Homo-oligomer: A and B are copies of this chain.
């Protein structure tokens, strides 16, 4: 404990998985892990035999406000001690080992963590030391391994990077955000009638200015213009702006026609 009062309100906790850092080396990384945990809605941190002891001021500096996670983190001598009150333990492990063990992707593990925690069982995720990763005895404490699918030619992850991927998957496993939407803020998506009003306005003005004077080509040209404006969602506000653009361009042309006659070619 450092006795600090600071740090962000990290929002409700519930039965979220415990992150266990096994023999972490750098305090900077422990802080960055706390920040990554808060990003993904993980709040319980345990340290097993941190190399340089605990607490360490440096960790709070890199936590960017995730102080409460560090303030309430506990220190344990062994992995077995750290997970004694857990029901399921997952061990992150980038490399295949010569053991018989269930292996999950990060996404598969996140889905399972959601199911298991919903049954009021407590889960922990082990992350190994920066240099060597978890050893065989650590992994023997786990129910299953988690191996993120990543570029096999370059799959060494920084500790906080490994935690953010797992925390992000934990968060998105319950997230209902629509994969693609048009953010409209103060306006709304225009309906087809509103779009048709604009297209009629446009075509009327194009007829008036002579842009569509080639009558055999006129149907094809108007269709192409329609195709362009029909391509995606347009907002009611954007249609009003487009109405204004057409009106002003047409007016400007008329004024220019009267005030500043264009030189004959």
Contact = CB atoms under 8 A, between A and B. Distances in A.
Contacts of A108: 178-180
Given A148-B168, A179-B107, A153 B10 contact: yes
A8 interface: yes
B161 A103 contact: no
Interface in A143-171: 144-145, 147-158, 160-161, 164-165, 168, 171
Nearest to A163: B161
A180 B66 CA distance: 32
A158 B99 CA distance: 35
Contact of A154 (B10, B99, B111): B10
A41 interface: yes
Contacts of A36: 158, 161
Q: So how many copies of this chain end up in the complex?
A: 2
Contact of A164 (B100, B164, B175, B180): B164
Interface string A251-262: 000000000000
Contacts of A129: none
A183 interface: yes
Contacts of A9: 153
Interface residues of A, number: 63
A100 B168 contact: no
A151 B9 CA distance: 11
Interface stretch (A19-27, A184-192, A213-221, A242-250): A184-192
A8 B154 contact: yes
Contact of A66 (B39, B154, B186): B154
A40 B151 contact: yes
22 contacts: A36-B158, A36-B161, A38-B151, A41-B150, A41-B151, A64-B158, A96-B185, A98-B185, A99-B185, A100-B182, A100-B184, A100-B187, A100-B238, A102-B182, A103-B182, A108-B178, A108-B179, A108-B180, A111-B179, A144-B180, A147-B177, A150-B171
